[in-house]
Amino acid sequence: LTVLAWTPPEPEPLPPPIPVDTVTTLQLDVSFEAVKEGSEVVLRFRVANPTSEAVTFEFSSGQKYDFGAWDATGRALWWWSADKAFTAAFESLTLRPGEALEFEERWAPVGVSGEIVLEATLTSLNLPVARQIGLEI
């Protein structure tokens, strides 16, 4: 028996990690708001370190955050990162006491109406943080 060539099967992709609310244990100050401005929704996500200790977040890529939206049935409507490319490099980011990370994006919900759920996520591997809010479109 001679093996001329063998390609191992592609492994099953791992599901994305479920965001964990680390605010209670880390005492981070996290806020997420969405405001309708004309035909767009402005999303603002802030993670601040009000403690006297530095907090370091580890990231597996250049992506630091994400925003998403889905309807009342759970159907995904939009993910900010869906059409983005990010560097594939491990990075760390340290928030010193009193520092904050702030992210803002805009979404134009074309053909969407009714109650939706919006989510903001800090995509840190070691300390993921997520917040969800509802919004009437």
Q: pLDDT tens digits for 81-108?
A: 999 999 999 999 999 999 999 999 999 9
CA distances from residue 18 to 50, 102, 113, 121 in whole angstroms, order as listed = 25, 22, 27, 10
Please choose, from the candidates 79, 75, 74, 83, the residue with its C-alpha nearest in 3D space to the C-alpha of residue 123: 79
DSSP label at residue 81: G
Question: Hey, what are 77's tokens?
Answer: 């409507």
Is the distance from CB of 41 to CB of 35 less than 8 angstroms? yes
State residue 24's pLDDT score.
43
> Could you say which residues of the chain have pLDDT below 70?
1-6, 8, 11-26
State residue 6's pLDDT score.
64
State residue 16's pLDDT score.
57
State residue 15's pLDDT score.
60
